[in-house]
Amino acid sequence: MGASFTVGVSGYMLYMLFTQSDNVEHLVGLILFNLIMLPTMLACEGLAPQRLEVGGGESQIVILRRYRSVTIRRDEVKSVEKLPKDAMRGAIRTFGVGGLFGFFGRYYTRSIGSFSLYATGTDNLFLIRKWDGENIVVACAEPDKMDGFIS
């Protein structure tokens, strides 16, 4: 979905760029828009979580992304708990993306505090608390795979 949107917007902007060349201000605006939006959308697409895998005999959790997947080893995990459906209600996005490419980045809630979120949706959310104090919230399409991590 995200990639087709990126290609569609890029195609439309290129079409406008070549068909509206008689208006210089319009042309400059389209060029600036493309210079800002295309890298932003491509970065969001690359950093968006694709899926979560529990692997290695349940020794690690891997959040797969097109660019720089995130691996959480079992020995780094202090606790894992399933969050209620309304856990994200009132969450403040301090630096992240929410919507088109999924939900990822830094968020804050009163109940959890500051945390990193990696989710394709808002169902089946799990809070991973690490020994170093970092909180990570992930969405798992197959929640039964998280049973080995829940303490």
Tens-digit pLDDT string for the chain (151 aa): 555 776 777 777 777 777 766 677 777 777 787 788 778 877 877 777 887 888 766 688 888 888 888 888 888 989 889 999 888 888 888 888 887 788 888 999 998 999 999 988 888 899 999 999 999 999 887 777 776 666 5
pLDDT of residue 140: 83
pTM over 0.85: no
Long-range CB pairs of 51-58 (<8 Å, 24+ gap) are 51/120, 51/141, 52/118, 52/138, 52/139, 52/140, 52/141, 54/140, 54/145, 54/146, 54/148, 54/149, 58/145, 58/148, 58/149
Rounded-to-integer distance, Cα 43 and Cα 24, Å: 29
Give the pairing type, strands 125-130 and 113-119: unpaired
